[in-house]
Amino acid sequence: MLKGKTIVLGVTGSIAAYKLANLASMLVKQHADVQVIMTQNATNFINPITFETLTQNRCLVDTFDRNFEFQVEHVSLAKKADAFLVAPASANVIGKIAGGIADDMLTTTLMACAGRTPKCALMIAPAMNTNMYQNPIVQENIAKLSRYGYEIIAPAVGHLACGDTGSGKLPEETVLMEYVLRACAFKKDMVGKHVLVTAGATRESIDPVRFITNHSTGKMGVALARMAAYRGAEVTLVAAAMEVAPPMFCEVIHVTSAADMFEEVTKRQQDMDIILKAAAVADYRPAVVSGEKIKKKEEKSSLSLERTGDILQYLGDHKRPGQYLCGFSMETEHMLEHSQEKLHKKHADMIVANNLRTPGAGFGVDTNIVTLITENGTRELGLHSKNEVAGEILDEIMNVVTPTPAAE
């Protein structure tokens, strides 16, 4: 995801500095060019050789390192940086950045990045004792940086190295990675777009113990929400039962039944530019729900079912001008015929179809094989990760949808 991108990590004097070694490794695995700058105090917590081994780049510490080939290093690095993350960011370094002080390699390089055009993504991840973090001066400095365009990554709450419990803990490396990916991994062609995604499997109660559901894990819907957020969209995820965590940077609405999802989706429809119906919604529900657990009997038992509300049909029938509606079709036979019929009947702009019987496609796996069906024809995608499939779907949509003027 980060091939061709230069990510600068600024590491300051904090016990949490050890986490940045893993983050550097994660970034390298995404093919990023990772450059690490450390304050002198940071070298007391982790050796620069660790970062040099992981990144295959020289770790910079001293602004005037005479053993290094001379160049204005802070300027040259600032010119090529796509993102600059200061993590862990100590109260001292936050104060220096907020005050415009540039007295070492980290702060001088960051100042050069902050003043450059086109802009480099600037992120600060504070990490310190809870009382220090809550100090009004530190909070004022953080607010000042936010006003100047720095993204502040809120610290986690937990047990700190000093023994206290509270806010000030550096977030996990996976969280920091998500911020970097959102900052620079993808074009921002969806800035200003409001996107609604549904995901997961609805559950229709039979009694207080049992319910009817399906095998959907929510992975495809989560991938769509994540990739749309990476590309700058404001994403609302309406999530039924899922086996994966919702992505960051999205508003998440949790629902249980098809009726719940119908209500939450339809009341938000008119505010959305793009709707992606990736959830596996039950077509039927029990006609009568027992208030008590149904006891097992020796004789056969039957269950009377009734239709649930057709969310995609409602959205298609009430689609506002300029709104893009994408549905999904999971089939076991006659996939193209059934999906094309669904496209026309539901008044959708696209149907993403796949066959449950195709290896590598369907529920519970990290890959998918889909066919994108529109009025203009069909396009088959080979075996890809669900993140890659999500990216292809969004590309197809954005070929039709006009980006907002704010989009880059």
Amino acid (1-letter code) at residue 32: A
Active site residue 113: no
Distances (CA, A) of 388 to 221, 228, 271, 381, 392: 12, 12, 27, 10, 6
8 Å CB contact between 275 and 208: no
Rounded Cα gap, residues 390 and 17, in angstroms:
34
Spatial neighbors of 311 by CB under 8 A, at least 6 apart, are: 198, 258, 261, 262, 265, 266, 277, 281
Catalytic residue among 162, 184, 250, 326: 162
Burial state string for 71-110 with b = 16 or more CB within 10 A and e = fewer than 16: eebbeebbeebbbbbbbbbbbbbbbbbbeeebebbbbbbb
E-state strands within 193-323: 194-199, 204-205, 211-212, 234-239, 250-254, 274-277, 284-286, 305-307
Per DSSP, the three-state class of 205 is: strand
Query: Which amino acid is it at 339?
Result: S
Q: What whole-number distance in Å separates Cα of residue 392 and Cα of residue 372?
A: 9
C-beta separation of 240 from 309 below 8 A: no
* Catalytic residue positions, numbered: 162
